Every structure is written in structure tokens, then in C-alpha cells.
């Protein structure tokens, strides 16, 4: 049984498409009041209308998660619309694949950091305290990536993975800090998902405005070929909410790669021990 009463309120960022849109719809179908948030107004309205067409309780709020004041306004709007916030799915994110880090512009660095990392910081600052204050069961979910646990050498994901490692670290820290509270923390680490994740049309003007990134055009074809559906991910998230899971994976395709990475870390410790033993002789 879920720990969240289904009549309670959820915020979903990145809700205009993909995982966010599918999860917002599923949460609303489960009886929650859902505020869909995104920077893409037309697609956000389409996602909202899909919920409303089924008679579900949902509203939309145009949000730039890279702007702290926009996230604060989202929290204020949600409380005014539906009352206390019980679930925050901090899902908005952008891709940054296909370009070596040394060749990236500073504007691209700023964009991927502001959206993928600072958006979580903004939710921690403006949404989480409200969830803690009401004292009821609540769930704080951050979207990282399987790229937050390893760096794909074939996709040039160094900058992207850096941001997702940060999301995993923040989530682990929150889990520690909130262990004795009524707020459960989870981190979603999806593998390939069939979505428009590689699009760069949503970049706000202050971070360079909409753009095309032909270097990551391969993402669309790859994700459409091997990715699971956003609806599958949404169902997986709902199961994880019920089970109070911390790490939420969508498949085990990268398990061996992550095991290999962890083994290299253990080897590093063994080398340190061997060095110390040699010096002690």
C-alpha cells in the first residue's frame, strides 16, 4: 500500500513531455491533485489538457526551474491551488552529449548546471521545507540518470554525467538528513527512455535561447530504438513510491558497467593499502 494518501498534492517538473508528462498523468489517475510545471508552454498545455480530458484534478504552471524565483512561485501557486504539498517530483533536465568537455562553450556549461543541478537546489530550498512543515507523509523524488553512476565513453557524456552525479549525491545527503522524518527521498536513475530528451529548444534566453545541438542528434534515434516508454517509467516510479525505494532503476542494462566502475574503485583502495604496506617494511 502506498504511504501517500492519493487525495494529496504533487508537483511534477519537466511535465510537458516524456517521463514528466507520463508521471503527472499517472499520479492524477491515482487520485492526486497534480501541478504540471515546465518551461515549454504549448507542450505543457497539451499535457494538462490530457489530464483534464479524463476529469482529473490538475493545473499547469509555466516554470523555469533554473530560476529560483520561478520555483518559489511554483510552490506558492501549488499551495494556493491545492493546499499542502506531499510529493515533489523534481524531474526537469537537459541533455549535454556528443561534445568533449574542453570544446563546450561556457554558456552550455551554465545551462546544464543551472537546469540539472540548481533546479534541485531550488526545490530543496523552496519546496522541501513546506513538505516538512505539515508533518504528513511526503515524498521528494529527484531525477538523476544511469549516467549519474557511470560515464559513457561512447556518448561523450562527461558534463551531463557530472550534473547527474551531483543529483545522486544531493539525494543521498537528503536521505541521510531526513531519515527520521516523514519525508521519503528517492532518486530516479533511468536508462534509455523513448522521449525528446535530446531537444535544446527549451533553453531560456538568459542562458542562450533555443538552439539545435546536432552533436547529440544520435540520441533521438538511439532512444527510440532501445528506450522504454515514459509510461513504463511512470509505472515504475509509482511502484517505488509504494515501496519507499531510494534508487529507482528502470532496467539493469548498465549493471555490469557500474560493477566494473566500482571494482576499479576497490582496486584503487587495494593499491593504497599495498603502498602503505611497502612503506611500513
Instruction: Give 147-175 pLDDT, tens digit per residue.
Output: 999 999 889 999 999 999 999 999 999 99
Q: Which residues pair with 62 in a beta bridge?
A: 38
Q: How many CB atoms lie within 10 A of CB 159?
A: 21
Supply the pLDDT for residue 196: 76
Element (H, E) at 117: none
Stated as kind and residue range, the H or E segment containing 183 is: strand 183-189
φ/ψ of 224, rounded to 5, equals -70, -25
The DSSP symbol for 228 reads B
Q: Which residues contact 237 (CB under 8 A, 6 or more apart)?
A: 23, 26, 89, 141, 188, 248
Which H or E run contains 266? helix 255-280
Number of neighbouring beta carbons within 10 Å of residue 165: 18
DSSP conformation class of 193: B
- Predicted pLDDT at 113: 98
Is residue 160 among the annotated active site residues?
Answer: yes
Residues lower than pLDDT 50 in the chain: 1-2
Cα-based distances in Å from 133 to 69, 126, 130, 184? 20, 12, 5, 14
Distance CA 230, CA 195 (A): 7
pTM value?
0.94
Q: Is 18 left (phi over 0), alpha (psi -120 to 50) or beta?
A: left
Q: What is the pLDDT of residue 6?
A: 63
What residues contact residue 79 under an 8 Å CB cut-off, 6+ apart?
85, 130
Residue 15 CA to residue 22 CA, distance in Å, equals 8
Instruction: Give the span between the Cα atoms of 91 and 159, in whole angstroms.
Output: 18
Q: Starting at the edge strand that comes first in sequence, how are the strands of the sheet with 33-38 ordered?
A: 58-62, 33-38, 9-13, 85-90, 138-143, 183-189, 247-249
Residue among 111, 160, 197, 249 flagged as catalytic: 160
pLDDT for the residue numbered 202: 76
Q: Sign of torsion, CA 212 90 129 62?
A: positive
Amino acid at each position: 500500500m502506498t504511504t501517500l494518501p492519493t487525495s494529496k498534492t504533487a508537483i511534477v517538473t519537466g511535465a510537458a513531455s516524456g517521463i514528466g508528462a507520463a508521471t503527472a498523468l499517472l499520479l492524477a489517475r491515482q487520485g492526486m491533485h497534480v501541478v504540471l510545471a515546465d518551461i515549454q508552454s504549448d507542450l505543457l498545455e497539451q499535457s494538462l489538457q490530457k489530464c483534464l480530458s479524463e476529469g482529473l484534478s490538475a493545473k499547469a504552471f509555466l516554470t523555469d526551474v533554473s530560476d529560483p524565483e520561478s520555483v518559489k512561485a511554483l510552490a506558492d501557486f501549488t499551495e494556493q491551488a491545492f493546499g499542502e504539498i506531499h510529493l515533489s517530483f523534481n524531474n526537469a533536465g537537459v541533455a549535454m552529449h556528443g561534445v568533449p568537455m574542453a570544446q563546450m562553450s561556457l554558456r552550455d556549461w551554465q545551462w546544464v548546471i543551472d537546469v540539472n543541478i540548481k533546479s534541485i537546489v531550488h526545490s530543496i530550498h523552496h519546496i522541501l521545507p513546506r513538505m516538512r512543515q505539515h508533518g504528513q507523509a511526503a515524498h521528494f523524488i529527484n531525477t538523476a540518470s544511469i549516467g549519474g553512476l557511470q560515464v559513457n565513453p561512447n556518448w561523450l557524456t562527461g558534463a551531463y554525467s557530472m550534473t547527474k552525479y551531483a543529483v545522486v549525491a544531493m539525494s543521498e545527503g537528503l536521505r541521510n538528513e531526513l531519515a527520521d522524518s516523514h519525508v521519503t527521498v528517492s532518486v530516479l536513475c533511468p536508462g534509455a527512455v523513448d522521449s525528446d530528451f535530446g531537444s535544446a529548444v527549451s533553453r531560456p534566453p538568459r542562458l542562450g535561447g533555443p538552439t539545435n545541438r546536432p552533436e547529440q542528434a544520435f540520441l533521438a534515434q538511439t532512444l527510440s530504438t532501445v528506450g522504454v516508454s515514459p509510461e513504463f517509467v511512470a509505472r515504475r516510479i509509482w511502484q517505488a513510491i509504494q515501496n519507499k525505494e531510494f534508487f529507482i532503476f528502470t532496467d539493469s542494462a548498465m549493471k555490469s558497467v557500474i560493477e566494473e566502475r566500482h571494482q576499479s574503485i576497490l582496486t584503487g583502495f587495494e593499491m593504497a593499502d599495498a603502498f602503505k604496506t611497502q612503506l611500513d617494511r
